[in-house]
Amino acid sequence: MQPRFEVLASHGAARRGRLTTAHGVIETPAFMPVGTYGTVKAMTPEELEALGAQIVLGNTFHLMLRPGPDIIAAHGGLHGFMHWRRPILTDSGGFQVFSLESLRKITEEGVRFRSPIDGAEVWLAPEDSMDVQLALRSDIAMALDDCTPYPATEVEARESMERSMRWAARSHAHYYAHEPPGGLFGIVQGGTHGALRLASLESLLRLDWPGLAVGGLAVGEPEEERLRVLEELVPHMPADRPRYLMGVGLPRDLIQGVLRGIDLFDCVIPTRHARNGHLFVRGGVINIRNGAYARDLEPIDPSCACYTCRHYTRAYLRHLDRCHEILGSRLATIHNLHFYLNLMRAVRASLADGTFEAFAAAFGGPGGAAADPVA
């Protein structure tokens, strides 16, 4: 089914909403944990549900290389393959191909690249990305885009954006020609150039999309640039469609996004940081590898209600990390995902009761706390 969106409450640009898909409802603003290879690293689906994850993201690029779309399709799609019964969003592969740099060649038709797994030559056109996402049977698929690097001149950014728009139209035509299991989101490109962003949006809106994403951010640009793009672009995006800021970010980036009207976020930061021993606490991050925690009998955060903080000390977590124990990655991932998902629950509650601006200011607004320091 096509995802349906309704706005339940607004507070300035920020919205409290509800996105309904064939596999269930996503209360927004929402953070989507990333499950690159059909698993949110270190976690079972039941654990994700218990933490309050409403939707997970799968990476088309990775899954088309391993295990390949046929094997996933034989399981009835990604839900059956990974035993996740709630909604799934898949990206298009565009961002990962963009990240390969020297291994790829972009043409009007599509992208040719060498597999980082085995060096084999792989071809990805908008139609291929749609075929893979249709095989995965994701609830929300993404159009294939040409992700503009930062920095890019106005000419470079325009050329890239216009290619993305032609690929978006091809993605749309191919996806909806196949009785899709979900809906396709378009992606606004245009780099940090406000006029190009608006042109990209205008181009996309010639077609019908159940949701729109802002792509090409969090690729190295300063925070002010990113926020300016959002401020120039988001007010023009249709208010009745969900808005997804791709690949963002740190906790404060999520708050800043919500303040500017974003509804959906995804990022590998909570799970990747966890495996590197970086644990989120109110006001920052602690590095559990720091020797200062060797004899620390406190939990990561004494005010945190997650499983890890209820049962384990910093000293134990540091010990597990030093010994490269799998349980260390598990406990850290549980804590960091709880931090993100709990933050979004608090954001939704404050939007519902009209206290979001105070909540955001206390968390650290544009003039507030800097990027999370590592203690």
- Active-site annotation, residues: 91, 266
β-pair partners for 114: 121
Which three-class secondary structure state does DSSP give residue 141?
Answer: strand
**14-21 and 121-124 strand pairing:** unpaired
**Shortest CB 178 distance to its own copies, Å:** 23
The residue among 67 and 284 lying less far from its own copies, judged by its C-beta, is 67
β-pair partners for 17: 7, 28
Local structure of residue 191 (DSSP, 8 states): T
**Shortest CB 327 distance to its own copies, Å:** 4
* Cα angle for residues 222, 224, 227 (degrees, 5° grid): 115
The residues that touch its own copies, with contacts defined as CB under 8 A, are: 37-39, 41-44, 66-67, 70-71, 74-75, 81-83, 294-295, 297, 311-313, 315-316, 318-320, 322-323, 325-327, 329-330
Alpha-carbon distance 276 to 212, whole Å?
32
Tell me if 190 sits within 8 A of 157, measured CB to CB: yes
The residue among 2 and 39 lying less far from its own copies, judged by its C-beta, is 39
**Shortest CB 212 distance to its own copies, Å:** 31
Neighbouring C-beta atoms of residue 322, cutoff 10 Å: 13
Local structure of residue 373 (DSSP, 8 states): P
**Shortest CB 133 distance to its own copies, Å:** 18
The token duo for 42 is 């270190």
The residue among 67 and 194 lying less far from its own copies, judged by its C-beta, is 67
The residue among 59 and 256 lying less far from its own copies, judged by its C-beta, is 59
